[in-house]
Structure 1
Amino acid sequence: MQTTTLYAQDFHAWTQHQAELLRSGRLRELDIENLIEEIESLGKQQRQELCNRLGVLLGHLLKWRYQPEARSKSWAATIREQRREIHEILEDNPSLKPYLAEAVIRGYRKGLDLVNRETPLDPDQLPQSCPFTEAEIFEAPVDWQR
């Protein structure tokens, strides 16, 4: 079976076959076009993961700031968890650091959507660009009992 056909019919089998070809040095048999597409897609997935994590973090920071009466241990835990996950993404993928400012912008929009879904707050009444400093996003302590 041709590798391009395998790619369309059984992606997992295709990935295993491509790995086998690479390990054995049979480079001429590789499905180069689809390999390029998949490698580019992996990089995009890392950027998307960063934006998604920032969306959850920024949404919870907005809830924390604008609904102090509803603060909970769960919100504090989510903030800590997202910060840790973002740190790990950036540690594992340092080339994403120059993309961080754009990711915060995209993540903030996702955060406003989260606030809209999870709270009675009107996202149109909240700042339309991220009001948090880098330190507030990534470092400020969160005490759920305050």
Structure 2
Amino acid sequence: MALEIQPIIQTLYDQDYYLWLRTTINQLRTSQFSSVDLDNLIEELEDMGRSQKRTVKSLLIRLFEHLLKLTYWNVERERNEGHWKGEIRTFRREIKDELKDSPSLKPYILEIFDKCYQDARIEASDRSQLAIDIFPSIPIGSLEQILDENWFPEYNHNHHGKPD
């Protein structure tokens, strides 16, 4: 009987993802474990973990990018400071929400911290058209600092903030 059900569930996954999801949840709730499409369920669970990691990585890069623009892009700061600070707060909150839901992601953030900072330097340079060496090669704050809602780096007034 399970062999007859399996192709139907497989087809359901391919044809109507949401219905497959609701069916799978119902099967699990009602202990119909032999009917569950385990291969696709396992794949979906693995994808969820990868997706969460990608989300955290993207948020961290965007957070660093906005902190760098706020700190070093002097010419645009007056016009964009409010927007950048708002974005910084949003990215901080979203990262904290991810960590609250999945505290085990904190070691992953520490693992990707420096690489995300380097990626953010490139993004900030591209977006500001400032030379990349305007942005320090060492991260401008610790993880605790950049996630602290009240912490902002001191503005760098040494560079005019115009493209070189």
TM-score class normalised by the smaller sequence = 0.7 to 0.9
* Structure 2 counterpart of 1:28: 34
Larger Rg: 2
* Structure 2 counterpart of 1:99: 108
Structure 1 Cα separation of the partners of residues 119 and 8 of structure 2: 41
Residue 81 of structure 1 is aligned with which of 87, 90, 98? 90
Report the RMSD for the aligned CA atoms in angstroms.
2.6
Structure 2 Cα separation of the partners of residues 85 and 11 of structure 1: 27
Q: Deviations over 1:74-116 (max 9, x none)?
A: 1111111211111111111111111111232343244234314
Amino acid at match of 2:49: G
Structure 1 Cα separation of the partners of residues 138 and 11 of structure 2: 46
* Structure 1 counterpart of 2:146: 137
Amino acid at match of 2:42: I
Amino acid at match of 1:100: I
Counterpart of 1:25 in 2: which secondary structure?
coil
Structure 1 Cα separation of the partners of residues 119 and 138 of structure 2: 11
TM-score by length of 1: 0.84
> Structure 1: which 5+ runs fail to align?
none
Q: How does 1:9-24 map to 2 (within 5 A)?
A: 9-24=15-30
Structure 2 Cα separation of the partners of residues 40 and 106 of structure 1: 23
Q: How many residues align?
A: 146
Which deviates further from its counterpart, 69-78 or 125-134?
Answer: 125-134
